[in-house]
């Protein structure tokens, strides 16, 4: 049985916490897309951790953590992260890396930086982790698969020359930067091969057998629906699909095995990077929510950048759930909202004088103005509450209003960053 945990919004919904929680009853946890560009924050009995590339199941000794073929694999980052958790007392996790995963090369990061510099004010707000150049190369068929690290030097040298022929023209003529050194790239590939060797696995065969044995598998998504390159706010999106459906491809399992799609929806909105954000708020109102948000404020887990803040957007969240194929919703960070007298919820977009509840394409989105409905606040701290009936009435009304708007059952309400801060309905 496969469960996907994915985001309905712009990312940072708290998927890491939900994965860490559901990991308790799972055998295998897989990252299937993205790279070390975004982060999950997890608070458990070992402490508080920001994971960027490791699946959020690494804290259990009964789980196997897998880096699927769909991931942008930054090998030094992966091993830095493993060392980081082990140094803090977490037992060495069991990790497998797909032999079909492709590798983020130092020149991908360089190209990301060069392009952001070139675009200056028109940039996509990249985290400069090389993700867009990496996926571009993957689809241009000049990327390096983990399996290729084990090729002989002649084969590697030939491919490196082919890659450099393209890269160097751009470096020299577009970015005015020194050309790549082929020998250095070969050395890097050797170094990566030696680091990754003990973990390399034919993951799709491993998962095929695991499924036959009835193992419980979690797919952990990065970012959310609205950052999907096809269904999100293109071009202000990420470079790999953030949708549960892509879990089948990025892990190497049959799509019909994904039975449960836990879609994580945040009780208010936040976003990093540029792009349309209809229910965005500014000034003191935003600062207050940013300061109180998440666990210790809404600042990027990878970059430390302050996140953009907004009220709950029912239009975007309903679309986000639909495009994920949500079978249930986990509503997170609800505890943060206990300070508000009233809570605006964006229930429609006004575009050219007409109100719609359907999430449009980017050009239309740019014209959209939020239509709000206001609900009364509950003015109390809800952390520590374990039963749904024990939540204040106005808080339950907020949850039920959201549930009606998004049209998917809210099965879990998260009222704090810790594993045990969860209310099952
Ligand atoms: P992810 O990328 O979707 O895993 O999300 P992030 O980890 O970037 O952001 C979620 C932040 O909110 C983290 O700091 C979590 O510790 C925190 N968090 C998760 N769930 C809750 C919750 O219910 N309440 C509070 N206050 N914080 C939460």
Ligand 1 mutation pick, 18, 41, 44, 303, max ligand atoms within 8 A of CB: 41
Q: What is the pLDDT of residue 301?
A: 66
Question: How large is the average pLDDT for residues 328-356?
Answer: 98
Residue 294 CA to ligand 1 centre (angstroms): 5
**Both structure tokens of 85:** 């958790």
Give the CA diameter of the chain: 70
Closest CA to 321 of 421, 241, 229, 405: 405
- pLDDT, tens digit, 9 for 90 and up, residues 192-247: 999 999 999 999 999 999 999 999 999 999 999 999 999 999 999 999 999 999 99
The tens digit of pLDDT for each residue in 41-70 reads 788 889 988 889 999 889 998 999 999 999
Ligand 1 center to 13 CA (angstroms)? 6
The residue ranking higher by pLDDT, 20 or 88, is 88
Ligand 1: distance of its center to the CA of 39 in Å?
10
Residue 40 bears catalytic tag: yes
Band (302; pLDDT cuts 50, 70, 90): low
**Is the pLDDT assigned to residue 153 strictly greater than 70?**
yes
pLDDT digits (tens, 9 = 90+) for 354-399: 999 999 999 999 999 999 999 999 999 999 999 999 999 999 999 9
The strand pair at 40-44 and 47-51 is best described as antiparallel
| Domains observed in the chain | 2-87+204-424 (3.90.170.10), 102-198 (1.10.300.10)
User: 199 with 224: CB under 8 angstroms?
Assistant: no
Ligand 1 atom at shortest distance from the alpha carbon of 222: 2
- What residues contact 119, with CB distance under 8 A and at least 6 apart? none
* Ligand 1, residues at Cβ distance < 6 Å: 7, 11-17, 38-41, 43, 294-295, 301, 332-333, 335-336, 414-417, 421
- Taking all residues of the chain, what is their mean pLDDT, rounded to a whole number? 95
For residues 73 and 35, the answer to whether their CB atoms sit within 8 Å is: yes
pLDDT band at 168; cut points 50, 70, 90 = very high
Instruction: Give yes or no for a contact between 94 and 64, defined as CB atoms under 8 angstroms apart.
Output: yes
């Amino acid at each position: 049985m496969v469960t996907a945990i994915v985001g309905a919004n712009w990312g940072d919904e708290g998927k890491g916490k939900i994965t860490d929680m559901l990991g308790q009853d799972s055998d295998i946890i897989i990252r299937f897309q993205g790279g070390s560009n975004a982060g999950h924050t997890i608070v458990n009995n070992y402490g508080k951790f920001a994971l960027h590339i490791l699946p959020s199941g690494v804290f259990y000794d009964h789980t196997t953590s897998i880096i699927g073929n769909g991931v942008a694999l930054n090998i030094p980052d992966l091993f830095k992260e493993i060392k980081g958790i082990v140094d803090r007392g977490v037992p060495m996790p069991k990790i497998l890396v797909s032999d079909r995963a492709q590798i983020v090369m130092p020149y991908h990061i360089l190209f990301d930086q060069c392009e952001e510099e070139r675009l200056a004010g028109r940039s996509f707000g990249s985290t400069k982790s090389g993700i867009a150049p990496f996926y571009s190369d993957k689809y241009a068929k000049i990327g390096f698969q983990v399996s290729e690290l084990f090729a002989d030097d002649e084969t590697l040298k030939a491919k490196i020359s082919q890659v450099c022929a393209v890269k160097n023209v751009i470096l020299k003529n577009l970015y005015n930067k020194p050309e790549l050194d082929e020998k250095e790239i070969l050395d890097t590939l050797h170094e990566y091969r030696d680091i990754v060797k003990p973990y390399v696995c034919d993951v799709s065969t491993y998962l095929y057998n695991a499924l036959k044995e009835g193992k419980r598998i979690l797919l952990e998504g990065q970012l959310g629906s609205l950052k999907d390159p096809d269904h999100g706010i293109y071009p202000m999106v990420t470079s790999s699909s953030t949708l549960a459906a892509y879990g089948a491809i990025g892990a190497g399992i049959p799509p019909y095995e994904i039975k449960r799609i836990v879609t994580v929806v945040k009780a208010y909105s936040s976003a990093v990077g540029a792009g349309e954000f209809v229910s965005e708020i500014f000034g003191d109102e935003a600062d207050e929510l940013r300061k109180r948000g998440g666990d210790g404020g809404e600042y990027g887990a990878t970059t430390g950048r302050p996140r953009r803040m907004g009220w709950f957007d029912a239009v975007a969240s309903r679309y986000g759930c639909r495009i994920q194929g949500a079978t249930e919703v986990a509503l997170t960070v609800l505890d943060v909202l206990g300070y508000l007298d009233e809570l605006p919820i964006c229930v429609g977009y006004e575009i050219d004088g007409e109100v719609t509840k359907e999430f449009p394409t980017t050009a239309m989105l740019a014209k959209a103005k939020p239509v709000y409905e206001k609900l009364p606040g509950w003015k109390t701290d809800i952390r520590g509450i374990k039963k749904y009936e024990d939540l204040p009435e106005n808080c339950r009304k907020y949850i039920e209003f959201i549930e009606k708007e998004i049209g998917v059952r809210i099965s879990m309400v998260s009222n704090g960053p810790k594993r045990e801060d969860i209310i099952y309905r």
